């Protein structure tokens, strides 16, 4: 009876080891496939996707901006998606204005504020001058 139990335990261990090896083979195959497939990510449209792609948030001219690194060509596969490697290129990141700034992509997450015209600035200055003159009289 004890030989039968030992044989059963041995058989169970063999099946467990085989199952574990099979699972490792599947994971290795998936990793190899991702290393060959082109990236499907790298699009920044929000603060969350900016941080997901390895970017950081800031303000430029009173507009929220994402500064995301640009991935090198060797990191252009799915194996690097979501690893904080950055965006593939500046264009194609939503309907936002993108500008290349060194090895980073400047992506506006909201519309850039419109610059005031000369007439608006002169009217503002005149109003401030009149208000100041009224308070001194």
Number of domains in the chain: 2
**Helix, coil or strand: residue 129:** helix
12 and 57 in a single domain? The answer is no
14 and 65 in a single domain? The answer is no
State the DSSP code for 116.
P
Question: Which two three-digit tokens encode residue 55?
Answer: 């970017």
32 and 53 in a single domain? The answer is no
**How far is residue 15's CA from residue 22's CA, in Å, rounded to a whole number?**
10
11 and 77 in a single domain? The answer is no
Q: Check whether 133 has a pLDDT greater than 80.
A: yes
pLDDT given for residue 127 in this prediction: 95
pLDDT given for residue 114 in this prediction: 81
11 and 65 in a single domain? The answer is no
15 and 66 in a single domain? The answer is no
32 and 50 in a single domain? The answer is no
What are the φ/ψ torsions at residue 62 (nearest 5 degrees)?
60, 25
95 and 56 in a single domain? The answer is yes
101 and 43 in a single domain? The answer is yes
> Count of CB atoms within 10 A of residue 42's CB?
24
pLDDT given for residue 94 in this prediction: 62
23 and 45 in a single domain? The answer is no
pLDDT given for residue 32 in this prediction: 65
pLDDT: is 9 or 107 the higher one? 107
120 and 74 in a single domain? The answer is yes
Mean pLDDT over 86-106 rounds to 69
Q: Find the domain containing 96 and state its range.
A: 38-137
Q: Check whether 89 has a pLDDT greater than 80.
A: no
Per-residue pLDDT reduced to its tens digit, 113-128: 788 899 999 999 999 9
Q: What is the mean pLDDT of the chain?
A: 75
9 and 56 in a single domain? The answer is no
Per-residue pLDDT band for 46 (boundaries 50, 70, 90) equals: confident
Mean pLDDT over 51-73 rounds to 84
Per-residue pLDDT reduced to its tens digit, 6-42: 666 665 655 555 555 444 566 667 766 666 666 666 7
Tell whether the torsion through CA atoms of 44, 49, 53 and 55 is positive or negative.
positive
């Amino acid at each position: 009876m004890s030989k039968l139990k030992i044989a059963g335990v041995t058989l169970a261990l063999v099946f467990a080891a085989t199952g574990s090896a099979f699972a490792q083979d599947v994971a290795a195959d998936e990793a190899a496939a991702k290393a060959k497939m082109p990236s499907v990510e790298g699009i920044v449209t929000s603060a969350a996707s900016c941080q997901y792609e390895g970017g950081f948030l800031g303000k430029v001219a009173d507009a929220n901006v994402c500064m995301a690194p640009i991935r090198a060509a060797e990191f252009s596969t799915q194996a690097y998606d979501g690893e904080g490697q950055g965006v593939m290129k500046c264009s194609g990141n939503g309907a936002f204005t993108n500008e290349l700034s060194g090895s980073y992509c400047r992506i506006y997450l909201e519309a850039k504020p419109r610059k005031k015209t000369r007439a608006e600035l002169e009217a503002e200055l005149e109003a401030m001058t009149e208000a100041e003159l009224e308070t001194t009289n």
